[in-house]
Amino acid sequence: MDLYQLPQFKGPNFKFPNFLKNKSFWLILLVIFLSSSFGFLAGMVSGSFFYFEIKDYLSEFDIELPEVQQIIEKEYVSQSTQEELVIKAVKNNDPAVVSVIATKDVPVFEQQFYNPFEDFDQFFNDPFQLQIPQYEQQGTEKQEVSGGTGFLVSEDGMVLTNKHVVLDEEADYTVFTNEGKNYPAEVLARDPFQDLAILKINQEDSSAEKFKIVKLGDSGALQMGQTVIAIGNALGEFRNTVSVGTVSGLGRTITASGGGIVETIEDVIQTDAAINRGNSGGPLLNLKGEVVGINTAMVQGAQSIGFAISINKAKRDIEQVKQQGKIVYPFLGIRYVLITEKIKEEEGLGVDYGILILGGESGKLAVVPGSAAEKAGLQERDIILEFNGQKITLENSLVKLIQKYSPGEKVVLKILRQDQEKIISVVLGEKSN
């Protein structure tokens, strides 16, 4: 027989086994079942009692028992979960992201034609007359000259954006919300050292409803590989476009150009989230929906390399504008070059760190007249080695060090002048927008 065969029951001829008719068998089975059930319940009750007794006892010694329900896998985020977080972050912040449009009175020219040889042609009765086009101004009309992105940081209408978005002081600025509403806005302050600016929406109705604002995060907690979300007015046309990527670099230093200015920006966030023209000034979010950066630049010709200014730097600007109505920085008043091995060799210096005070092209002075540096006696070709006891290096630049202080504070500089070290005290000046 190849397969097991089950017994077949054949109608009324089937008989139950004798042991199934025995009452003792069923009684024993019932006792076993009840014993198991009561044993299980007793184990649960005694275990819970024992756990809470031990917990109360150990609490006197500041010892905590682990809660099983709190053990959650935090490192792994499923694809569906990440997608939900992105959608939630965008949904919560989208109403606070705005488009910033600059308009300006632009001359209007009309094309006309004239014949410089009109008198000559009439004299000779020449049927072939020369017609040369010329353009004459026929007044002006307001036209859109640039556009960017910003986001609301106060319920009364303060908008944070890039400085290069609102650089033109002669332009008028309008803020467009995602709901299709538009408001005139004025520039409250432009950061003198960073690509940041703050606008204020002007509302005719003082009792207008409050604006929805973003939540500011901590850019100092960012890590390489962390997921980030960029929102912006892509190409100046596609409002509130969303792109997702990762933090691909931290603490970068870049030299950005645009709008007729060239600016070196330190300690920026590098991301592969697509940042296109028009995205400037938009928020860079983490998966919690917090703003961790302000999208500011992209690399032309590269594959998804963009940069954002850390939100921790912008927090200072926001608070200063709220309290003082302007952005203020401590100011030393020198032009300089950071000393590297190359600069050391080119200038014949005896040190490979610090900064060399040096004049610029077209006769630009090394020391600004009337500045804190001039009052302290600093001179061209002095080398500043330390700022208040800290070495000045590529990683620890003068910009980073000086921003820790306020105008009016006294600092100590260690300088090298003609191969001799000197200690100089400086009372920092003020630089504002």
Which range has the top average pLDDT, 23-32, 202-211, 395-404? 395-404
Segments making up each domain of the chain, as ranges:
19-59, 98-201, 215-326, 329-432
Q: How far apart are CA 259 and CA 116, in angstroms?
A: 39
> Could you tell me the pLDDT band of residue 210, with boundaries at 50, 70 and 90?
confident
Residue tagged active-site, from 164, 191, 248, 310: 164
Q: Cα(108)–Cα(283) distance, rounded to whole angstroms?
A: 36
Question: What is the model's pLDDT at position 170?
Answer: 87
Residue 173 or residue 304, greater confidence: 173
Residue 69 has pLDDT above 50, yes or no: no
**Residue appearing with tokens 């000045």:** 392
| Average pLDDT rounded to a whole number, residues 9-34 | 57
Instruction: Report which of 205, 214, 200, 96 is spatially closest to residue 158, judged by C-alpha positions.
Output: 200
For the entire predicted model, the pTM comes to 0.67
Mean pLDDT of 2-14: 43
Mean pLDDT of the chain, nearest integer: 79
Give 26-41 pLDDT, tens digit per residue.
666 666 666 666 666 6
Predicted local distance difference test score (pLDDT) of residue 25: 59
CA distance 151 to 213: 8
pLDDT (0 to 100) of residue 59: 53
Question: How many other CB atoms sit within 10 Å of the CB of residue 214?
Answer: 21
d(CA 397, CA 387): 10
Report the percentage of the chain scoring pLDDT > 70: 67
The answer to whether 151 touches 125, Cβ cutoff 8 Å, is no
pLDDT of residue 284: 95
Q: Quick: pLDDT tens for 239-285.
A: 778 999 999 989 887 776 655 556 677 788 999 888 877 788 999 99
pLDDT above 60 for 167? yes
pLDDT for 75: 44
Q: How far apart are alpha carbons 184 and 52 in whole angstroms? A: 63
Task: Please pick, among 99, 280, 310, 371, the residue that the annotation labels catalytic.
Answer: 280
Highest mean pLDDT among 11-20, 63-72, 75-84, 349-358: 349-358
**Per-residue pLDDT, 361:** 76
pLDDT of residue 253: 79
Predicted confidence (pLDDT) at residue 369 exceeds the cutoff of 90: yes
- The fold of the 329-432 domain, in CATH, is Pdz3 Domain (2.30.42)
Active site residue 164: yes
Integer Cα distance of 268 and 248 in angstroms: 11
Asked whether the domain spanning 215-326 has the same topology as the one spanning 98-201, the reply is yes
Q: Give 233's strand partners.
A: none
Out of 2.40.10.10, 1.20.140.10, 3.30.565.10, 3.10.180.10, which CATH number does the structure's domain 215-326 have? 2.40.10.10
Cα separation values, 189 from 160, 163, 252, 329, 374, Å = 10, 9, 25, 13, 27
Quick: pLDDT tens for 110-149.
666 655 555 554 544 555 555 666 666 565 566 777 788 9
Q: Which of 99, 191, 195, 397 is catalytic?
A: 195
Residue 149 and residue 363: Cα distance in Å, rounded? Answer: 38
The domain 98-201: what is its CATH number?
Answer: 2.40.10.10
At residue 11 the predicted structure's pLDDT band, cuts being 50, 70 and 90, is very low
Instruction: Write a three-state SS string for the chain.
Output: CCCCCCCCCCHHHCCCCHHHHCHHHHHHHHHHHHHHHHHHHHHHHHHHHHHHHHHHHHHCCCCCCCCHHHCCCCCCCCHHHHHHHHHHHHHHHHHHEEEEEEEEEEEEEEEEEECCCHHHHHHHCCCCCCCEEEEEEEEEEEEEEEEEEEEECCCCCEEEECHHHHCCCCCEEEEECCCCCEEEEEEEEECCCCCCEEEEECCCCCCCCCCCCCEECCHHHCCCCCEEEEEEEECCCEEEEEEEEEEEEEEEEEEEEECCEEEEEEEEEEECCCCCCCCCCCEEECCCCEEEEEEEEECCCCCCCEEEEEHHHHHHHHHHHHHHCCCEEEECCECEEECCHHHHHHHCCCCCCCEEECCCHHHCCCECCCCHHHHHCCCCCCEEEEECCEECCCCCCHHHHHCCCCCCCEEEEEEEECCEEEEEEEECEEEEC
Q: Give yes or no for a contact between 97 and 283, defined as CB atoms under 8 angstroms apart.
A: yes
Note the pLDDT of residue 117: 55
Q: How large is the average pLDDT for residues 343-357?
A: 91
At residue 1, the pLDDT reads 37
pLDDT of the residue at 288:
93
**Where is pLDDT greater, at 28 or 48?**
28
In the residue annotation, 195 being an active-site residue is answered as yes
Q: Among residues 237, 230, 397, which one has the least CA distance to residue 308?
A: 230
pLDDT of residue 71: 40
Tokens of 365: 């002075």
CA 337, distance to chain mean position in Å, is: 28
- Name the one residue in this structure whose structure tokens are 């050292």: 193
pLDDT of residue 265: 76
* Both tokens assigned to 334: 């020198």
What does the pLDDT read at residue 104?
81
